[in-house]
Each structure stands twice: as structure tokens, then as C-alpha cells.
Amino acid sequence: MGTFVLVHGGGHGGWCYKPVAQRLRAMGHEVHAPSLSGLADRRHLVSAAIDLDTHIADIAELLEYEDLTGAVLVGHSYGGMVITGAADRKPERVGHRVYLDAAYPREGESLYEHAYEMIHMAKQGLHVVDGVEMVMAPMPGMAAFFGVTDPELGAWTDARLTAQPWKCFDQKIAFWNEAAMRAIPESHLVCTSTMPGRDMALLTERSGGRVWDIDTGHDLMLTEPDWVAERLDAISKL
């Protein structure tokens, strides 16, 4: 069976993978779904020092301290930045990279540059809390922004979203072992609605054609957990 490290996107936490994690564990897989520093159950750790490098280190150190090898790194949205960086830091511990409707950065690119239209919109809500520039302040109905339209699931999601330090989105990613990282197999699970904004030819070429799409909201791990878990299970057996 496979070993999964599920990395959430901006404003989320490990909680958002609960439905997928339950399904993967029922299939016999080992699953880690941590919350990144300063978010969700780790929001009490928020500080001006938290940036993209912090979150890359969160996952790189998890790989090291849990002694994981051949791990399938799964990154959703902003989490694509994080898994790319973590695989670059610890390529010897990663067996596959999976981009779940996620950022797919180039060297020296920030999420703000990579997904400018969406992140610029988020930047309009920039505010300062205890000296930390934050974005994505949670508010009622925010789950709909992520494509969660079911009222009950939306309320559950709204109750768990947290603001995120702006530096995470503004810091440019730096690679240490890009060749080794790019050599790790990759797959892409994409929401049909976001395909027009992506370089699908690049994703298809680099993944060897391992690109699948589904017509659902951006938080597909919540709206379509069966499909996501089934696809991840299949990827782990490649």
C-alpha cells in the first residue's frame, strides 16, 4: 500500500482532507494530513516569520522525522507550491507528486505571480493582525468561493477556514535540487473549470499524460472525495 502526505491549500488545514483520508485509510494506505504552520489547528503559531519556506520545511521535516520513503505528496491549490518545494528539498523520500487543482511553479515564481488574478483578488482583503499581514479572512459563505455549494458541507468548511500570512503567497520559490525533483513522477487532478487558465500542454508533457479532470468546485477533495481517493489509490500503484 502507499504512503500519502496530503498538503492543503491557502486558508485551509489538514481537516479538509478528512473525507479523502478516511477513504484512503480504509483502502489500507498510510496517510498524513498535517496543518501547515499558522493555519487551522496550528493558527496559534501564526507570526510574521511564516512564509512559503516555513511551509516547505513543515513538509520536508515531516518526511524526515516520520522516516517516509516513496511518499506520494499531494498538494491542493497553494499546496502545489509547498509539495514542489518539499520534493526539491527531500527528493530521495518522495515517490510521486500529485497536483490537486494546484499551483505548478517555476523557479523564482511566487504564487502571486503564478495565479495573479485569483491571488490579487485575495490581496484586496489584506489586513494586519498583531503585526502580521494576513489575507483570506474567513467570513460566512466563504466556502462557496472554493466551490463548496452544499449548505451543510459549506457551513462545516466555513467554520474551519482561517486567514493566512500574506508572505506565503508573495515569496518566490527557490529550488535546491530541481533536476532531482522534476525526475520524480507527477500527476495532475484538475477541475474542468480551471483548465483554461493552465498550461495543459506542459502538464501533459511533464506528467507523461497523467492528467485527469472532473467537473466540480476547486475544493474537490471535499466535493468529490470518492473520485479523488480512487484516483490517488490508482496513482499509488503506478
Contact 169, 10 (CB under 8 A): yes
What residues does each domain of the chain span?
A: 3-236
Q: Count CB atoms within 10 A of the CB of residue 176.
A: 11
Q: Nearest Cα to 236, choosing from 216, 210, 199?
A: 210
* Sign of the C-alpha dihedral computed for residues 128, 131, 135 and 140 taken in this order: negative
Global confidence as pTM: 0.98
CATH no., domain 3-236: 3.40.50.1820
Q: Say which residue the cell 530521495 belongs to.
A: 92
In the chain, the percentage of residues whose pLDDT exceeds 70 is 100
Q: Say which residue the cell 472525495 belongs to.
A: 225
pLDDT of amino acid 78: 98
pLDDT of amino acid 82: 98
Summarised one tens digit per residue, pLDDT across range 5-61 is 999 999 999 999 999 999 999 999 999 999 999 999 999 999 999 999 999 999 999
Q: Nearest Cα to 223, choosing from 39, 29, 19?
A: 19
pLDDT of amino acid 137: 94
Region of 50 (left: φ > 0; alpha: ψ -120 to 50; beta: rest) is: beta
pLDDT of amino acid 184: 98
